[in-house]
Structure 1
């Protein structure tokens, strides 16, 4: 790569849309190009509700009201990266995939609306990240919207990952009958092109991690590439991660979005890419990364069985995706070193890559994945913690089980008296004695699971014995999970009424409460994470006002003694059975009982 001929990955960083919160500009774009679709001439109205997550594009949620109805319809506005915008065939390719998949009775995805020119897209000069290249010609599409919640904001279970595997298998079966000339293109995120990562290895910050990625690339080159002709090919979704999987009612998969990375490549890659992302899901991050990938693989293989050659390369191809994500993340940070979030979000990917490639025996992992693809596979058998899998990972056990008497006293790191009392009540039927100690730990930012683990590391070094830390979040679904772990500061600044006002203008007031408990038995011991979540909605304050945001969170789970009540209105013993904190500490109790048996 040279400055005269930058790669597409470099140019994507330059040409990423930079509309951000400039909704006035976006309103002008839509009014000028989609007036017919939005019925503007006959009295239809629309407003941009919020910006949605995206990697190299920008996505926005739009609410539309027709002149003859009081009901509203939501649409997705997608502003494409400048690289893809340069090639109309790529945009047509993505639209064609959506049209094809929506013909399948068990698959739902977004669909494009026609612009005023009669095309399923429009082109505009819009701001991009690089000032030297701004404004740039970008493609804008107005797409149908799938009602639901991205899986990234749901509590992920092995059963949900199994279902996700089945869903992707159905997508791939349908795509076996699809072709398009634009599908055959070079894309850095296509793991068939793993060797192209070499030019980005120099951006990785530590020599050890540079060596790790180089080792994966070498293995790909020496073991996978020679078998390339024996790997089935087809058009892939290519990015089946928890942000692109939409969960609807009853926690069923409602659809799949985003075909921006779609290419024609090796069919097995759709499965292994998704397995890598399953490892980074909320379930995988609780110390079940291998189990998460196995649950997904089991579901996929049930509907779309892998061939013997494909099965042989699963581990390497999973690591190719992890290496790609981590390496290109390091490159992105090198281009924007003020953005510490890039490093923070890459860290779970690095740790998972180190686990799968360097710490788990390859033969044992192959046996585990064979088990996931066998007729005898069941989720109970696969749902085991890293890196210990019964009957297959015996040699990998890093420590013997500790007697619970070794950790008789556990220090809960908190200065909150009410929180301590609540936890002591939940844990009262164990032989553990819960004490507390207030520490001024740094306020880390990022993924709740990562933050909890890092806080626990700091706490155990300070306490020198068994410790518990916890991080609590209140996540509004309409705001993509915000305020999340920052709820304490939002509550301090806004109060109960202010939290309600944050959702003014949104019809969706649902939310979930989350506690991540981190436990470590002492210095040098592994850290275990326990993720508890409770669904509900945000309401005007009801009940006593003396315990945080309890008065505005109305629980939607449990029986008559809890559903429909705010946490503040509940009897404390009832609250402990349904609350996010209660669920997380019940998981800890079960873990401690297992450890002591």
Structure 2
């Protein structure tokens, strides 16, 4: 997931899934749970996660899986939406490298686990995608070309998905960038003028054309922590994980999210240009998408700064995790701010022509 996925109160009707606390299940209890629900014996290893309990489960057959046990206040409709997207991709776009849901012994895609207080935690088992997380690898223009291609392939696969996210707004949705205006006061003084400038540009440029942009369900979190690279072919993308931030939005927003994570180095134009060229081999951007993409990229970077500084102030116990992408986001915003709007649009257009 992105720096920190955060929901507004209207989207998380049962409470903020990131602010709630729950008792971690003992590993032995988790292993017994998998055996009872899925008929699989094996061992689990806990993986880091802020939103739920996540484990790698290795069965006695040596097959590996990812086990997710949801936060007690997680919206069941949100999980059903994610499951629907994964099942849609499996049925209609099987070449898209995403996890597959494993059915329970009852043939369903998950299990409701009652816990103390009458709450329910959703248990889901997914296939394990092997590979190296992209953020751990040195940057590569060749790999970024494949990254852009895979993002476009994923977008095409999701375009036919008719599911809709739960009611309410996800703050990590670029479409709702202006909702963050009240949080800008949490941003450090040096960064505030840059962030406010982005919100002003968004207010000028996006509303007039938003309705004309192609809309669909998008992944909305295509960042290097959610992308796996093939260890044997290190220039190829092997997997896409974490569908917890999906929204119905302009499809170009997904490209803006992806590009926002490749701006922090001196060769950012080579890296970002490669993503655009790879994306364009599958999906050609419309003129309005080319025009708004620079503003959307800036908006995503500004969101990262605003939300992470706000969350770090309210969750000092998890500050290091929350701010892990903050420095790169600030560098990226400074680099983008060094170019005029027309220069940025020409950069996007020139890399989408091929």
Per the TM superposition, whether the score is higher than 0.5 is yes
Count of residues paired in the alignment: 341
Corresponding position of 1:92: 80
Verify the 8 A CA contact 2:259 2:272 in the aligned structure 1.
Answer: yes
Match among 40, 47, 55 for residue 43 of structure 2: 47
Question: Is 1:26 the counterpart of 2:14 in the alignment?
Answer: no
Corresponding position of 1:351: 331
The offset of 1:308, in angstroms, is 0.5
Corresponding position of 2:5: none
The offset of 1:116, in angstroms, is 4.2
Return structure 1 stretches of 4+ with deviation > 6 angstroms.
none
Corresponding position of 1:113: 102
Question: Is 1:291 the counterpart of 2:273 in the alignment?
Answer: no
The offset of 1:91, in angstroms, is 1.9
Verify the 8 A CA contact 1:233 1:266 in the aligned structure 2.
Answer: yes
Corresponding position of 1:262: 246
Corresponding position of 1:387: none
Taking the aligned partners of 2:115 and 2:334, their CA distance within structure 1 comes to: 41
Corresponding position of 2:202: 220
Verify the 8 A CA contact 2:18 2:50 in the aligned structure 1.
Answer: no
Taking the aligned partners of 1:297 and 1:135, their CA distance within structure 2 comes to: 49
What is the CA deviation profile of residues 531-588 of structure 1, one whole-angstrom value per residue up to 9, with x for unaligned ones? Answer: xxxxxxxxxxxxxxxxxxxxxxxxxxxxxxxxxxxxxxxxxxxxxxxxxxxxxxxxxx
Larger RCO of the pair (alpha carbons < 8 Å, separation 6+): 2
Question: Is 1:164 the counterpart of 2:147 in the alignment?
Answer: yes
Taking the aligned partners of 1:126 and 1:371, their CA distance within structure 2 comes to: 55
SS of 1:259's partner is coil
CA 1:339–1:143: 2 relative to 1, 3 Å: closer
Taking the aligned partners of 1:297 and 1:58, their CA distance within structure 2 comes to: 35
User: What are the residue-to-residue correspondences of 1:282-361 with 2, within 5 Å?
Assistant: 285-341=264-320, 342-343=322-323, 345-356=325-336, 358-361=337-340
The offset of 1:48, in angstroms, is 0.9
What is the CA deviation profile of residues 209-241 of structure 1, one whole-angstrom value per residue up to 9, with x for unaligned ones? Answer: 233222212211221012111111011111111
Taking the aligned partners of 2:115 and 2:193, their CA distance within structure 1 comes to: 40
Consecutive unaligned residues of structure 2, counting only runs of 5 or more, are 1-7
The offset of 1:142, in angstroms, is 0.7
Question: Is 1:155 the counterpart of 2:138 in the alignment?
Answer: yes
SS of 1:194's partner is helix
What is the CA deviation profile of residues 258-304 of structure 1, one whole-angstrom value per residue up to 9, with x for unaligned ones? Answer: 1111111111011111111233xxxxx44223332221111112211
Larger Rg: 1
Corresponding position of 2:4: none
Question: Is 1:363 the counterpart of 2:342 in the alignment?
Answer: yes
CA 1:81–1:188: 2 relative to 1, 3 Å: farther
User: What are the residue-to-residue correspondences of 1:50-449 with 2, within 5 Å?
Assistant: 50-51=46-47, 53-66=48-61, 72-83=62-73, 85-87=74-76, 89-103=77-91, 104-124=93-113, 137-182=120-165, 185-204=168-187, 206-248=188-230, 249-251=232-234, 252-279=236-263, 285-341=264-320, 342-343=322-323, 345-356=325-336, 358-375=337-354
Taking the aligned partners of 2:342 and 2:304, their CA distance within structure 1 comes to: 25
What is the CA deviation profile of residues 42-83 of structure 1, one whole-angstrom value per residue up to 9, with x for unaligned ones? Answer: xxx2101341x44533422110014xxxxx100001233445
What is the CA deviation profile of residues 101-136 of structure 1, one whole-angstrom value per residue up to 9, with x for unaligned ones? Answer: 224243121111223454311233569xxxxxx995
Verify the 8 A CA contact 2:226 2:242 in the aligned structure 1.
Answer: yes
Corresponding position of 2:17: 12
Taking the aligned partners of 1:23 and 1:297, their CA distance within structure 2 comes to: 43
User: What are the residue-to-residue correspondences of 1:445-460 with 2, within 5 Å?
Assistant: none
